[in-house]
Each structure stands twice: as C-alpha cells, then as structure tokens.
A and B are shown apart, each in its own frame.
Chain A
Amino acid sequence: MGMADKQKRYEALVQVYHKELYRFAFWLSKDATVAEDLVQETFLRAWRSLDSLQDQGAAKSWLLTILRRENARRFERKQFDYSDVEQDTLVDERNTALDDDMELTVLQRHIMALPDEYREPLILQVMAGCSGEEIADILNLNKNTVMTRLYRARNQLKDALTRNPDKFNEAPNG
C-alpha cells in the first residue's frame, strides 16, 4: 500500500471511530484525560500496524481490541509507578479526579459502579453497537459468557436503580 493511500485510510478510520473509541476509553478508565491519551496511543499503534488490517469490516473490533490492550498496559505501568503509595489514597484521588472531570448523572454513576467485567461488555453492546460475537472476540471470551455478563449487568443496574435511585446524589464521603 502506498504512503498516500495508507494516510487516507488512516484518517478515514480516525474520523469514523474516534468518538466510539474515546467513549470506550472513558468508561474503561473513568477519567477523561486518561481516555484521551488512550485514544491517541491506540491510533498510533493502529497506524503502525495498519497493513495487518485486511478486512475493513473488522476495523471497529480491531481498534477496540487495541485500546483495551493499551488500557491493560497502563495498569502494568501503574503498578510500578505507585508501588510505594498507599492504595487508599489512590482510590480517593481517583474519585476526586472523576468528580472534577464531569458532572455525572445518577445513571452514569451506577454504570461506573458496575464491576469491570459487567460494565465492559455492556458499553461495547450499547454504546459501540457491537454484536455478541464481536464482544466475545474483543474480550476474548466465549459468547455464552458474554451473554451471561450482559444479563447480569442489566440486572444489577435495574436492581441498583430500584433499590437506591438517589444513592449517588449523596456526597461521596457522606
């Protein structure tokens, strides 16, 4: 593929998928700044291995998979960065950062509060419009597991909303 074609193809991918990738990154990292970094890293990696993407139809899953891997790398790095900081402090900082970043609605806070393993497939399904097969592919799970997690994700959300519709309106430390 010529350089010019590669560049065109790349920019088209950026235009079409940057929003979905940013949102996926936001819900993975729960941090707007980290999300932006993740998207940039993801597209840089995509640029470097663009030749390996043969099937345009698979572009979205491919990009989401790269992003997810980038996010996992972030945790590997973080382990070393913060090894001597008490974990409690970390959690507090994170909540503060989140509150500063954006005002979240009750529903958004309930989505945030879901365990990662439920939140991730739900974001992929509802926000990114991925099919069960695509989600299974991205998360490297079998489809039945994905469907079970999606069921549990909605079940937990509905449960939380019925039991505690205003829980997240209270101050985080209140």
Chain B
Amino acid sequence: MVGDAAAMNDILHRYQAQGRRHAALVGLLALAALAALVLDLTTGPAGLPLGDTLRALTGGQVSRGAQVIVWDVRLPVACMALLVGAALALAGAEMQTVLENPLAEPFTLGVSASAALGAAVAIVLGLTVPGLPPVWGVSANAFVFAVGALMLLQLLGRIRGGGPEVLILFGVALNFTAAALLSLVQFVASADALQQLVFWSMGSLAATQWPGVAMVAVVLALAVPFSLRASWKLTALRLGQDQAQSFGVDVAALRRWTLLRVGVLSAAAVSMVGVIGFVGLAGPHIARLLVGENHRVFLPASLLTGALVMSLASTLSKTVVPGVLLPIGLVTSLIGLPIFFALILRGRRR
C-alpha cells in the first residue's frame, strides 16, 4: 500500500506540474501579445523609429508629431486590436463549448453579420438609436442589431427545445438572412454610403478612438470573471449534457447565460470594428492545441491567442502592401482560412 500511495503522489505531482506548465504557457502568450502590441505600435506609414515610439510611450523627449502619432493614432488602434481579438476568441471558445460544436463562433452564428446590417441601416438609411451623438450612431446600431440577433436566436432555440444543433442551425440561417438584407441595403445605397459600408463590413480599426477602446475593455473586464467562474462547469460540458447535468450543472441555465454573456461581448467588439472573421474560430483552436480543454486555462489561453493573432494581423494589415492599410477583417480571414481547412481535414481523419 505504501508503494501505491507513492505512485499516486507521483501521478498527482506530474498532474500539478502539467498545470504549472500550462499556466506558464498562458503567461508566455500574455508576453507575446504584449510584444505584438509593441510591434504594432512601431509600424505604420509614418515610419517612426522604435526608440521614438518607446520614448513617446514612456513620456520621454520626442517631437509633438511623434507624440500625437503614438498616443492618438497608433495606441488606440493597437489596443483595440488586442481587445477585439481577446473578446472574439473568448466568445468563440465558450460558444464552441456550450453549443458542442467546434465551428461555433460569433461570425458563424450571425452575430457579426447582424452587426454589419445594423451599421448599414445607420449609414445608408440614417436610422439609428435616438438621442445618441451621430459619431456613435453606427456602432450603437451595430451593437443593438447584434444583441437583437442573439436574443432572437435564444428565443427561437427555446421554442424548439434549445438543443445545440437547433441553435447552430438558426445561427447559420440568421447569418445568411442578415447577409442577404445587407446586400439589399447596399443595393439601394448611394455611392458614398456604399464605400463607407464596404469598408465597415470588411472590418477596420482605422476609425478607432479611445472611448470605443474603453467600452470594449469594460465589457471584457466584466465578462472575464464570470467566464472563469464557470470554467469547471464548461469543462464538464465537454463530456456531454448528461454528464454535466449529473455532476450538478444546470446545463440549460449555463447555456443561456454563457450565450448572453459572450454575445454581448462579441457584439461590443464587432460594433466597434466591423466584421472580423476567424479570430473567434482560430483563437480557441490554437489554444486547445497548446493547453488542452480544461477551461480554467483554456479560456485565458483562447483570449490571449485571439489578442495575439489580432495584434499580428493589425501589423500585417499595415505592412503587407506598403503604404496601404488593408481592412483587418480581410487579413484575419486570410490567416484563418488555412486553419479552418486544416480543422475540417483533421475532423475527416478522425
């Protein structure tokens, strides 16, 4: 028996060591995201040297121009990239778990398309939430439409029993409906509005301002503690609804609250920067490969991977074609596409 106890302790130690390794990986991801942020800050059409950028950030001696470029142009954009990536990947990770589908994310469930439709209604038809300053009209509309889409999804799901397959199918239908309505609005739009709209529906960080960054940051900060609190429940749900329920999880409530929480989170993100595809899909899948699916580390790892990918995409969007700022949604889609195919092929092999 003494030998058994020693063997058990050895296994437990190895398990705990694995936990520490995963925590260290999460820490590394955080550092990498930070490094990507600095890289993002140093790239741009103004060609500011790294030294000047760092001096401007730390309050050192730099020209007024450099000060403005770093603090008012690059920093809000770079922070927004991190935050939006984090929000979409966290939302994607939780959606994949509660809907028991590896392809679920804000984009595939129609949240992004609905946000784009909301923006289009504001840009082209001039209809928006009354009483708001005009600069916020487009984002407010996008937010309202995205949250509305989720509410509709939940409502339809509830009527049909709320199973994950039903929610996924409704989400996909919603995606196509929103896309079709978006085309309709584009069809009647003026050339000027159309240009604005096309840019918006490809996702862009260009119009980022500090209040928007603050808004996404606040929503993310509010959502994360709840996500972490639910991490063992979500882990249990990976064993199926019956198992989670027999472990004492109220699965229907978990599904409802998680979708609401990450829905608002992704709506906040896409309402600020437009349609960004694949970060919500790629972030969680990369995180899963790195740390597995214990949601205590999987959720933070997803969040940070999303932030890292989005930040790198932001840098790429400025550097791939010199002198041209590509829409960031285009860049993430191009990065995400190969991952998406790899996943399908991996699924086929299983």
Are these two chains actual partners, yes or no? no
Interface residues of B (CB under 8 A from A): none
Interface residues of A (CB under 8 A from B): none
